[in-house]
Chain A
Amino acid sequence: MALAWENGKVVDKQMPIIPHEEFKKLEKILESEKYTNTYLDKLVKKMKFPKPVRG
Protein backbone atom coordinates (compact mmCIF):
# COMPACT_ATOMS: atom_id res chain seq x y z
CA MET A 1 0.00 0.00 0.00
CA ALA A 2 1.20 3.47 -0.85
CA LEU A 3 1.58 6.21 1.72
CA ALA A 4 -0.52 9.30 1.24
CA TRP A 5 -1.60 12.34 3.18
CA GLU A 6 -5.34 12.78 3.59
CA ASN A 7 -7.36 14.93 5.99
CA GLY A 8 -4.29 15.91 7.98
CA LYS A 9 -2.88 12.45 8.53
CA VAL A 10 -0.83 9.71 6.88
CA VAL A 11 -2.93 6.93 5.35
CA ASP A 12 -2.19 3.72 3.49
CA LYS A 13 -3.73 3.76 0.04
CA GLN A 14 -4.74 0.50 -1.55
CA MET A 15 -5.22 0.52 -5.29
CA PRO A 16 -8.87 -0.34 -5.99
CA ILE A 17 -9.73 -3.60 -7.75
CA ILE A 18 -9.87 -3.24 -11.53
CA PRO A 19 -12.65 -5.09 -13.39
CA HIS A 20 -10.98 -7.87 -15.37
CA GLU A 21 -12.33 -6.75 -18.75
CA GLU A 22 -11.03 -3.27 -18.13
CA PHE A 23 -7.67 -4.69 -17.08
CA LYS A 24 -7.39 -6.58 -20.38
CA LYS A 25 -7.75 -3.26 -22.25
CA LEU A 26 -5.29 -1.61 -19.88
CA GLU A 27 -2.79 -4.43 -20.45
CA LYS A 28 -2.89 -3.81 -24.21
CA ILE A 29 -2.26 -0.09 -23.73
CA LEU A 30 0.63 -0.75 -21.36
CA GLU A 31 2.22 -3.18 -23.82
CA SER A 32 2.22 -0.60 -26.61
CA GLU A 33 5.42 1.09 -27.84
CA LYS A 34 4.34 4.34 -26.18
CA TYR A 35 4.55 2.75 -22.72
CA THR A 36 7.40 0.30 -23.25
CA ASN A 37 9.94 2.55 -24.94
CA THR A 38 9.67 5.52 -22.65
CA TYR A 39 12.16 8.01 -21.25
CA LEU A 40 12.53 5.76 -18.20
CA ASP A 41 13.09 2.60 -20.28
CA LYS A 42 15.79 4.34 -22.31
CA LEU A 43 17.39 5.75 -19.18
CA VAL A 44 17.52 2.34 -17.49
CA LYS A 45 19.09 0.74 -20.58
CA LYS A 46 21.71 3.49 -20.83
CA MET A 47 22.59 4.09 -17.20
CA LYS A 48 24.81 1.97 -15.01
CA PHE A 49 23.22 1.75 -11.58
CA PRO A 50 25.41 0.94 -8.59
CA LYS A 51 24.59 -2.28 -6.73
CA PRO A 52 22.82 -1.37 -3.49
CA VAL A 53 24.92 -2.15 -0.43
CA ARG A 54 23.76 -2.91 3.11
CA GLY A 55 25.11 -0.42 5.57
Chain B
Amino acid sequence: MKNIVTIDKENYFSYLEIFRSFETKTDRERDLIDSMISKVKKSDSVIYLLQIKDKNIGFIAVSASKLLTDLEGVPSIEIQYIFIDTKYRKKEFKELNNIKASVFLIGLIQNIAIELQTQIGIRYLILYPDKQNLNLVDFYLKLGFYKYKIIIWDNKKREIEYWMIKKL
Protein backbone atom coordinates (compact mmCIF):
# COMPACT_ATOMS: atom_id res chain seq x y z
CA MET B 1 0.00 0.00 0.00
CA LYS B 2 1.52 3.32 -1.07
CA ASN B 3 0.62 6.76 0.08
CA ILE B 4 1.71 10.29 -0.81
CA VAL B 5 1.48 12.95 1.87
CA THR B 6 1.60 16.66 1.02
CA ILE B 7 3.66 18.63 3.53
CA ASP B 8 3.51 22.42 3.50
CA LYS B 9 3.81 25.33 5.91
CA GLU B 10 0.53 24.39 7.62
CA ASN B 11 1.45 20.87 8.65
CA TYR B 12 5.27 20.55 8.43
CA PHE B 13 5.69 20.58 12.23
CA SER B 14 3.75 17.31 12.51
CA TYR B 15 6.39 15.66 10.31
CA LEU B 16 9.59 16.95 11.91
CA GLU B 17 10.06 13.68 13.77
CA ILE B 18 9.81 11.74 10.51
CA PHE B 19 12.40 13.98 8.84
CA ARG B 20 14.72 13.50 11.81
CA SER B 21 14.26 9.74 11.69
CA PHE B 22 15.42 9.43 8.08
CA GLU B 23 18.72 7.57 7.75
CA THR B 24 21.17 9.73 5.82
CA LYS B 25 24.53 8.80 4.37
CA THR B 26 26.27 12.08 5.19
CA ASP B 27 25.87 15.23 7.32
CA ARG B 28 25.51 17.08 4.01
CA GLU B 29 22.21 15.26 3.40
CA ARG B 30 21.04 16.12 6.92
CA ASP B 31 21.81 19.81 6.29
CA LEU B 32 19.95 19.70 2.97
CA ILE B 33 16.89 18.17 4.67
CA ASP B 34 16.96 20.90 7.35
CA SER B 35 17.24 23.61 4.68
CA MET B 36 14.35 22.05 2.80
CA ILE B 37 12.16 22.18 5.90
CA SER B 38 13.03 25.89 6.30
CA LYS B 39 11.83 26.51 2.75
CA VAL B 40 8.57 24.67 3.43
CA LYS B 41 8.10 26.73 6.60
CA LYS B 42 8.33 29.92 4.49
CA SER B 43 5.91 28.57 1.86
CA ASP B 44 8.68 28.54 -0.73
CA SER B 45 8.28 24.81 -1.32
CA VAL B 46 6.02 21.83 -0.86
CA ILE B 47 7.18 18.32 0.00
CA TYR B 48 5.60 15.08 -1.16
CA LEU B 49 6.42 12.25 1.22
CA LEU B 50 6.26 8.67 -0.07
CA GLN B 51 5.08 6.01 2.37
CA ILE B 52 4.87 2.32 1.57
CA LYS B 53 3.24 -0.01 4.09
CA ASP B 54 3.49 2.78 6.70
CA LYS B 55 7.25 3.11 6.17
CA ASN B 56 8.65 6.52 5.24
CA ILE B 57 10.67 5.90 2.10
CA GLY B 58 11.69 9.39 0.97
CA PHE B 59 10.42 12.65 -0.38
CA ILE B 60 10.59 15.12 -3.22
CA ALA B 61 10.45 18.90 -2.75
CA VAL B 62 9.21 21.26 -5.46
CA SER B 63 8.42 24.91 -6.03
CA ALA B 64 6.97 27.16 -8.69
CA SER B 65 9.74 28.67 -10.77
CA LYS B 66 10.60 30.37 -14.03
CA LEU B 67 13.05 29.50 -16.70
CA LEU B 68 14.42 32.96 -17.48
CA THR B 69 15.55 34.28 -20.82
CA ASP B 70 16.56 37.88 -21.43
CA LEU B 71 13.07 38.51 -22.86
CA GLU B 72 10.68 36.36 -20.87
CA GLY B 73 10.11 34.12 -17.90
CA VAL B 74 8.75 30.71 -18.79
CA PRO B 75 6.61 29.11 -16.04
CA SER B 76 8.14 25.93 -14.75
CA ILE B 77 8.24 23.63 -11.77
CA GLU B 78 11.56 23.21 -10.09
CA ILE B 79 12.48 19.97 -8.36
CA GLN B 80 14.53 21.28 -5.47
CA TYR B 81 15.54 18.14 -3.67
CA ILE B 82 14.93 14.40 -3.77
CA PHE B 83 15.80 12.31 -0.77
CA ILE B 84 15.47 8.56 -0.30
CA ASP B 85 16.24 6.95 3.06
CA THR B 86 19.53 5.04 2.77
CA LYS B 87 17.71 1.76 3.61
CA TYR B 88 15.63 2.05 0.44
CA ARG B 89 18.09 3.38 -2.14
CA LYS B 90 18.50 1.27 -5.29
CA LYS B 91 15.52 -0.85 -4.17
CA GLU B 92 12.72 -1.52 -6.62
CA PHE B 93 9.29 -1.74 -4.99
CA LYS B 94 6.57 -4.03 -6.24
CA GLU B 95 4.07 -1.47 -4.86
CA LEU B 96 5.54 1.00 -7.40
CA ASN B 97 5.33 -1.39 -10.37
CA ASN B 98 8.94 -2.44 -9.77
CA ILE B 99 10.60 0.92 -10.08
CA LYS B 100 12.80 2.82 -7.64
CA ALA B 101 11.30 5.36 -5.25
CA SER B 102 13.28 8.23 -6.83
CA VAL B 103 11.91 7.46 -10.31
CA PHE B 104 8.39 7.16 -8.91
CA LEU B 105 8.65 10.56 -7.17
CA ILE B 106 9.88 12.29 -10.34
CA GLY B 107 7.02 10.66 -12.26
CA LEU B 108 4.60 11.86 -9.59
CA ILE B 109 5.80 15.45 -10.07
CA GLN B 110 5.52 15.21 -13.85
CA ASN B 111 1.97 13.90 -13.37
CA ILE B 112 1.05 16.73 -10.97
CA ALA B 113 2.65 19.29 -13.31
CA ILE B 114 0.63 18.00 -16.29
CA GLU B 115 -2.57 18.35 -14.26
CA LEU B 116 -1.59 21.87 -13.16
CA GLN B 117 -0.64 22.83 -16.71
CA THR B 118 -4.29 23.11 -17.67
CA GLN B 119 -5.04 25.36 -14.69
CA ILE B 120 -2.09 27.72 -14.36
CA GLY B 121 0.21 27.10 -17.32
CA ILE B 122 3.53 25.33 -16.87
CA ARG B 123 5.96 24.34 -19.57
CA TYR B 124 8.99 22.68 -18.01
CA LEU B 125 10.37 20.71 -15.13
CA ILE B 126 13.83 21.91 -14.15
CA LEU B 127 16.41 20.71 -11.67
CA TYR B 128 20.01 21.17 -10.64
CA PRO B 129 21.79 17.83 -10.08
CA ASP B 130 23.23 17.66 -6.58
CA LYS B 131 27.03 18.19 -6.53
CA GLN B 132 26.82 18.18 -10.35
CA ASN B 133 27.39 14.44 -9.98
CA LEU B 134 27.77 12.94 -13.47
CA ASN B 135 26.14 9.65 -12.45
CA LEU B 136 23.15 11.66 -11.36
CA VAL B 137 23.17 13.63 -14.62
CA ASP B 138 23.19 10.31 -16.44
CA PHE B 139 20.23 9.11 -14.36
CA TYR B 140 18.16 12.16 -15.37
CA LEU B 141 19.22 11.77 -19.02
CA LYS B 142 17.89 8.20 -18.99
CA LEU B 143 14.55 9.46 -17.67
CA GLY B 144 14.35 11.91 -20.58
CA PHE B 145 15.68 15.20 -19.24
CA TYR B 146 17.82 17.39 -21.48
CA LYS B 147 21.24 18.36 -20.17
CA TYR B 148 21.68 22.09 -20.56
CA LYS B 149 25.26 23.24 -20.21
CA ILE B 150 25.91 26.77 -19.01
CA ILE B 151 29.32 28.44 -18.93
CA ILE B 152 29.69 30.96 -16.15
CA TRP B 153 32.54 33.45 -15.85
CA ASP B 154 33.24 34.24 -12.21
CA ASN B 155 36.21 36.58 -11.64
CA LYS B 156 37.77 35.45 -14.92
CA LYS B 157 37.33 31.85 -13.78
CA ARG B 158 35.38 29.65 -16.17
CA GLU B 159 32.82 27.36 -14.56
CA ILE B 160 30.42 24.92 -16.14
CA GLU B 161 27.01 24.17 -14.70
CA TYR B 162 24.60 21.51 -15.84
CA TRP B 163 20.87 22.03 -15.44
CA MET B 164 18.34 19.38 -16.41
CA ILE B 165 15.19 20.41 -18.28
CA LYS B 166 12.14 18.36 -19.25
CA LYS B 167 9.27 19.57 -21.39
CA LEU B 168 5.85 18.61 -20.03
Distance in angstroms between the alpha carbons of A9 and B131 in the assembled complex: 11
> In the complex, which residue of chain B has the Cβ closest to the Cβ of A22?
B69
Report if B167 contacts A (CB, 8 A).
yes
A residues less than 8 Å from B138 (CB atoms): none
Q: Decide if the interface of chain A is mainly helix, strand, loop or mixed.
A: mixed
Q: How far is the CA of A50 from the CA of B51 in the complex (A)?
A: 11
Q: How far is the CA of A43 from the CA of B49 in the complex (A)?
A: 20
| B167 near A35: Cβ-Cβ < 8 Å | yes
The residue that B111 contacts in the complex, of A13, A17, A44, with Cβ under 8 A, is A44
Task: Determine the chain B residues whose CB is within 8 A of the CB of A36 once the complex forms.
Answer: 167
Whether B143 lies near A50 (C-beta < 8 A) is no
A contacts, CB < 8 Å to B: 1-5, 9-10, 13, 15-20, 22-23, 26, 29-31, 35-36, 38-41, 43-44, 46-47, 49-55
Q: Identify B128's interface contact among A15, A20, A40, A53, CB under 8 A.
A: A15
Residues B143 and A40 in contact, CB atoms below 8 Å apart: yes
List, sorted by A's number, 8 A–B pairs whose CB atoms are closer than 8 Å. Answer: A3-B80, A5-B130, A10-B35, A23-B67, A30-B165, A38-B144, A52-B6, A53-B3
CB of B70 within 8 A of CB of A3, answer: no
Give min CB distance, B160 to chain A, whole Å.
Answer: 11
Q: Is the CB of A3 within 8 A of B35?
A: yes
- Inter-subunit contact A20/B71 (CB<8 Å): yes
Instruction: Give the distance in Å from the alpha carbon of A52 to the alpha carbon of B31 in the complex.
Output: 26
